[in-house]
Amino acid sequence: MSGTTLDAPLVPVSPTTRVLACATDEIGEVAADVVATVAPDGVLGVATGSSPLALYTALIRRRDEGLSTERLRLFALDEYVGLDADDPRSYAAYVRAVIAEPLGIPNDRVRVPSGSSPADAEAYERSIVEAGGVDLQIVGIGRNGHIGFNEPGSDAETRTRVVELDESTRRANAEHFDGDLSLVPARAMTQGVATILSARRIVLVASGAAKAAALRSALLGPVTADNPASFLQRHRDVTVVADLDALREDR
Ligand code: GLP
């Protein structure tokens, strides 16, 4: 394990969750140590957002140093409804520019949810199954405990579907839309909680005090749809890579 991991300031309820507490600038390398184990040809579930950026940077550096990543297969967690895949604000564009292209992964090995019909959602679920399932799923956590776009109220049985985004989520993401809330799509297609939990391993990355309350109740609180990340307590192999601000008491 690279970097110096610090003692975790909290002990998760679930014995199958391990917490790697580290300095903010070590998150990428520590998470990459875990994620790189699916190379060279595993099925990697990828999250968007700012939390995993350092992890992707670390993977790209490792590719430059000889890690073989071209044969990985990628499945994204979610996508806005109504944004074209060519729109730079779409998650399809993020996955291409930030992950797939720098890792040398061709388009035919990359899947991002698209469309808005139940048939589109079912097709996405099927494509994951046909790939043999996700070996390792990277997730971030929303300030309200969402994983993917599974907002509070999403239960453990949910599968890929179209959801309405919470206003708080749209506000948090408005920075990617010139700060204009009215430009943030109201709906998204997301893998469900059950879809995420079907991955063989899960790595959650979180940093900063804004995530502390959600992360703390996800790890220590009851398993409840009020905090969809708490369902991770039911998974058999979860690694949380987080900085001390994200792991401290709520504030
Ligand atoms: C977004 C995404 C999630 C992401 C989360 C946190 O809304 N749908 O997949 O994990 O919010 O984003 P960030 O890491 O930028 O805080």
Instruction: Determine the average pLDDT of the residues in 136-150.
Output: 97
Which atom of ligand 1 has the smallest separation from the CA of 139? 10
Fold of 5-247: Rossmann fold (3.40.50)
Q: What percent of the chain has pLDDT over 90?
A: 93
Q: Is 78 in the pocket of ligand 1 (CB under 6 A)?
A: yes
Q: What is the pLDDT of residue 3?
A: 46
E strand spans, the chain: 5-6, 17-22, 43-46, 73-76, 78-80, 110-111, 136-139, 161-164, 187-190, 201-206, 238-243
Which atom of ligand 1 has the smallest separation from the CA of 206? 14
Phi first, then psi, for residue 146 (nearest 5°) are -75, 150
pLDDT at 243 over 50: yes
This prediction's pTM: 0.95
Domain residue ranges in the chain = 5-247
CA distance 51 to 13: 23
In sequence order, the β-bridge partners of residue 242 are 21, 206
Q: Is 228 in the pocket of ligand 1 (CB under 6 A)?
A: no
Q: What is the pLDDT of residue 248?
A: 85
Pocket test for ligand 1, best of 75, 146, 193, 207 (most atoms within 8 A of CB): 146
Q: How many CB atoms lie within 10 A of CB 101?
A: 14
Q: Is 50 in the pocket of ligand 1 (CB under 6 A)?
A: yes
pLDDT at 106 over 50: yes
